Amino acid sequence: MPKVSEALLEIKNLHTSFRIEGQYYAAVDGVDLTVFKDEVFAVVGESGCGKTAMALSMVRLHNINYTRMDGEILFHGSGSGRPQDILKLKGAELNKVRGGHIGMIFQDPLSALNPLHRIGQQIEETLVYHTDLDKERRKARAMELLENVGMTDPALTYTQFPHELSGGMRQRAMIAIAISAKPDLLIADEPTTALDVTIQAQILDLIRALKKEMKSSIILITHDLGVVAEMADRVAVMYAGQVVETAPVTELFGNPRHPYTRSLLHSIPGAAGGENRLHTIHGAVPDLRGLPRDGCRFSRRTPWMPGDAHEAVPTYHEVGPGHYVLCTCYKTFRFEE
């Protein structure tokens, strides 16, 4: 396990709130996380739990007209010799970190790529902002990147528009842009969504190879527990805007503790010990405005548990080395009979 001194990114008490009908509602609500150098850190949870909202907060890509962010996001990889609070950076300082030291692979490459610009032009745009390469060397670097991400004909892809590429090729082009400045941290938001199984495996192998080559850290945002088991070193489980459990990946799969984590794993086909009936989690994820802000947020989905099993003000409990669980409900949780 890396030492705390090797932290690359520290998120402290992060709140990301969105304005709805004049009121702000926190989609990320008091999150604390640390990502270490040279690791794959996975963030897993159902759709709507706050994973992508947190990822976009790390690179300040929310619309400031209806978003409010509080807390600290301390980045240690800018080369400045001191951590920088991303939430306090402005103008050129922010742009130097975003895209230069932190790259991002977006969930939907078709909407993330500019439909009016050729792929080569979009890669070179990043190089203009974050390198001192001249025009000729930028093109050579773009071609090299397209080759590195597995394009069979880099010269052709360089001249094509996003709509001319398949889903897997668009994702590879998105990855080429994200890694063009050799970032210290790569955020991959559902990088295999909407891709078939074969292409998913290729993209994951590519990300793994690039991490090894660049010695970067990766934050992997996903709801796919199979991807987590294959890729991650450590895992954070999110529910309703909070991190409910954090652990090394082998510990999380071998000894899950929080009721939500156990329920997620129990929902995997075949994980329930050969039962014919697929396990489902009781209830539904609350919407942002109806989200309970007091007590254990998962208690509404375990109505068979007594109220005193939950803490009135949930706190984190260390149940093993590097393994933290929110609320005491993990001690008495059982599945509904």
Write the pLDDT tens digit of every residue in 150-206: 999 999 999 999 999 999 999 999 999 999 999 999 999 999 887 888 889 999 999
Residue type, 4: V
135-148 vs 167-179: helix crossing angle, rounded to 10: 130
278, pLDDT greater than 80? no
When pLDDT is cut at 50, 70 and 90, the band that residue 285 belongs to is: confident
pLDDT averaged over every residue in the chain: 92
pLDDT in tens, 220-276: 999 889 899 999 999 999 999 999 999 999 999 999 999 999 999 988 876 555 556
> For residues 5 and 141, which has the higher predicted lDDT (pLDDT)?
141
| Pick from 10-14, 213-217, 270-274: least confident | 270-274
Q: What DSSP character marks residue 279?
A: P
Contact 191, 183 (CB under 8 A): no
Contact 107, 193 (CB under 8 A): yes
Instruction: Give the start-to-end residue ranges of the domains of the chain.
Output: 1-38+45-89+223-297+304-337
For the chain, the 3-state helix, strand and coil shares in percent, each to the nearest 5, are 35, 25, 40
Q: What is the pLDDT of residue 10?
A: 97
Q: Which of 52, 61, 53, 58 is nearest to 17 (CA)?
A: 53
Q: CA 295 to CA 327: how far, in whole Å?
A: 9
Q: What is the pLDDT of residue 290?
A: 87
4, pLDDT greater than 70? no
167-179 vs 119-130: helix crossing angle, rounded to 10: 10
Cα 315 to chain centroid, rounded: 23
Q: In the predicted model, what is the mean pLDDT of residues 40-56?
A: 94
| Pick from 61-75, 124-138, 278-292, 298-312: least confident | 278-292
Q: What is the pLDDT of residue 192?
A: 87
Q: What is the pLDDT of residue 2?
A: 42
Q: In the predicted model, what is the mean pLDDT of residues 116-140?
A: 95
Residues in the chain: 337
When pLDDT is cut at 50, 70 and 90, the band that residue 51 belongs to is: very high
Contact 219, 57 (CB under 8 A): no
- What's the CATH number for 1-38+45-89+223-297+304-337? 3.40.50.300
What's the number of CA atoms in the CB half-sphere (13 Å) around residue 256? 18
Phi, psi of 188 (to 5 degrees): -110, 105
1, pLDDT greater than 80? no
Q: CA 121 to CA 115: how far, in whole Å?
A: 11
Tokens for 176?
């080429």
Residue type, 3: K
When pLDDT is cut at 50, 70 and 90, the band that residue 282 belongs to is: confident
Residues with Cβ < 8 Å from 225, sequence gap 6 or more? 44, 264, 265, 268
Q: CA 78 to CA 75: how far, in whole Å?
A: 7
